[in-house]
Each structure stands twice: as C-alpha cells, then as structure tokens.
Amino acid sequence: MDSSKKNTPAQVEVADLFRQFGPAYRESHPLPMRMLKTMSAIERCRTAALGGHVEQCDVCGHIRISYNSCRNRHCPKCQSLVKERWLAARKRDLLPVEYFHIVFTIPDLLNPLALRNQRVVYNLLFKAASEALLTLSKDPKHLGAEIGFISILHTWGQNLMDHPHLHCLVPGGGLSLKGQRWISSRGGFFIPVKVLSRLFRGKFLFYLKEAYRGGKLKFVGEIRSLGDTRKFQMMMDQLYRKHWVIYCKPPFQSAQYVIEYLGRYTHRVAISNNRMVKVEQEKVTFSWRDYKDGNKNKQMTVDAFEFIRRFLLHILPDNFVKIRHYGLLSNRNRKTKLRRCQKILGSTSNGKQQSTESEGWEELLFELTGIDPRICPCCKKGQMIAREILSPQGHAPPRKVRWVA
C-alpha cells in the first residue's frame, strides 16, 4: 500500500456504509438470515455494541479501551490474524519444489444459476477441478504420480460482480504411485491446459446434469425458464460448445514466496477497506483493477444500495468450506504421504513454525509488525493490564476484573 494512505484521516469503511444505508436497504430488500447476520456483524465490529475491555498502564496510568471483533469471515477487519495463523500452519506442509498457481473459471452463462444455487454449484466447482487435477496427474502420459494441492474459492471480480472461480496452488510434482520416490513435473507443467480444461468442463457438466435430474437445483427469478427440460438442455449444449478458461501462471521457485503469494488469496473478502475511496450523496466510490484494460487501476462509483447488493452476492452459505485440501495435502494423507515426500526431498518442519499456530494474538501481532500491544503506547515502559470488562452495549453493566500485578 502507498505509505501516503496510512495517514489519510477518517478512512471510509464498509461498516460505515452498512451503518448509514443498511437499515433502509434491509427495509426494502428481503434478505436471507445469513446476509442479515453478516451485515449486523460488520456494523457492530469493534464497537461498544460487541463489548470489550479497559486496560491501564501499570506505570503511567494511561487508559486504553479496546472493543471486540465480530470474527465474521466476510468482515474486512477480521481476517488478518486469522490468515496469519493459517499461513503459519501451512508452512509445515511446504516442499522444496516449484509451485504452480492454476485458476479454474466457470463461464458467465452459469453465473445466474450459481447465484441461486450457491452451495450446489460451488461444491461442483471444487469437485470437478480437483478430480480433473488428480486424474490427469496420475496418468503416466502427464506425470504418473499422486499430487497434493490447496483450492480457494473466490466468487467476485474486481468490480464486485459475481465471478466464481477457484485458485489452486499445486507443487510441481508428486509421489510415485508406489510411494517410493518423488516425480518432478517436466516441461514447465505436467498437464497441458487444454487437456485440463476439457476434462474440467466434462466433469462439471456431468455433475451439473446429475444435480438437475436429482432435483437439487432451484429455478427462480430470471432463471425460472431453466426448469423446463428443453431449455436446460439448450443451456447445456451451449456450455459444451464453449471454451472453459483455465489459467496457469509460471512456477514459483521460492517456498517463502509461495506462502506470501498464498496469503493474498486465502482469507480475502469481496472488497477490503483500503479500496473504499468515499461515500457522498448516497453514492460509493471504490478502486478496482480493470484486467481487460491492461490491469489499470480505476475508480468506480455506484449507488449505495447497488454496492450493498454486490457485496451481499458473496456471502457464502452457512458452514460452507471455501479452502480445501486434496491429495497429499488432505487431512488423511498429511501425516503419512506428505511427510514421506518431505523426507524424500530432504525437507523438515521448523519448530517455530509449528508453535506459531498456538500463539496469542499479542505475540502474533508483535511477530508480524514489531509492535507489542502489551507495552504502554504512552510511556513505552509499563505493561497494559486489564482493569475492566465492558459488556455489550445495552446488556449488563461493566464488571471489574482482578488487577494483575
């Protein structure tokens, strides 16, 4: 981020927009419970509404009030430390090989269907992409090995419109099918993108047809006509004729860079607060990158209600898992096959990396930023000690806690 932005006063946030326009939007737009809960959580995040605690310096007496986070996975303010804990755990799984970033995208024609059947369609996206990768990598024509990878679902484009796609981070090679040696990928990547695209398309549409026949899809609003078998088949014929886009970036050579790169995608939400520019006269301006115009940075202004509508498109179904591990990185294989790969490649886990996952937020923040929140920001000598618990606003009054010497 540009250092000049750090000193920008009164940075507008998604929460400000929700607090200002959210009540009117909810009044005029019936919303499912998960969206109502998400909006409420973001509006209340780090405010007196969620409660908090009062700390006092044991040397100079400086007082600091901290309010609780909402911890909602769609909140722009609650992902940083969660992301760092997750990345610290993933460092144990790194292999000393090159890594590839593959992006699977479904055609725009499917977007209206996906929006009204998020759980079904997003699960099919994971299933088709993972099966295509695992199947082709085991084929001796391509690699002849068992691979492992991480898949991360994103449902948005830079303009906040619906754009479901899957980011996959794949090591460049795999464990031989007999489990005795590591087989490195060759020729830049082990699966030609065209072959991968065709198999992905075939698997996705096969499973989509199964879901249709099994009555698992809902057809409401603008896709109501797809409930007719003939119309649905016409759409399927179009999808079979289309070229499905799969993008594979050049490999990363450094394991550390892999982790840094992965951190850009894992716990990202539809839009971060630093992309918010201003809110004026019921209109919202935010920055975005136009990939179709040479990746130029631009600004877009939309009505406040339209911004809220776009943001809510990306609230995932309850309990939906958006980061998934496959093959060597799956839970059942991580302690056996993955550790065997590390042994074959002469790679070992670092004890410090393993302990980071259980660190408190203060220790983790200090490690990441060099700022120790336990030290008084005023005198720089004393320790900030909890003095009082603040109950959520409108509930029980504050209660004293024991002074810690």
- Quick one: tokens of 337? 């096959």
* Residue 23 Cα distances to 40, 112, 254, angstroms: 10, 27, 48
Asked if 300 and 286 count as a contact pair (C-beta separation under 8 A), the reply is: yes
What is residue 153's predicted lDDT score, i.e. its pLDDT? Answer: 95
Q: What is the pTM of this model?
A: 0.87
What is residue 278's predicted lDDT score, i.e. its pLDDT? Answer: 92
- Quick one: tokens of 295? 């990746």
What is residue 2's predicted lDDT score, i.e. its pLDDT? Answer: 43
Q: For each successive 10 residues of the chain (405 residues), what is the average pLDDT?
A: 44 92 95 95 93 93 92 88 78 87 94 96 98 95 93 93 93 92 81 92 98 96 94 97 88 71 80 92 93 88 96 96 95 91 80 50 65 87 91 56 35
Asked if 252 and 99 count as a contact pair (C-beta separation under 8 A), the reply is: yes
What is residue 33's predicted lDDT score, i.e. its pLDDT? Answer: 95
What is residue 156's predicted lDDT score, i.e. its pLDDT? Answer: 93
What is residue 352's predicted lDDT score, i.e. its pLDDT? Answer: 44
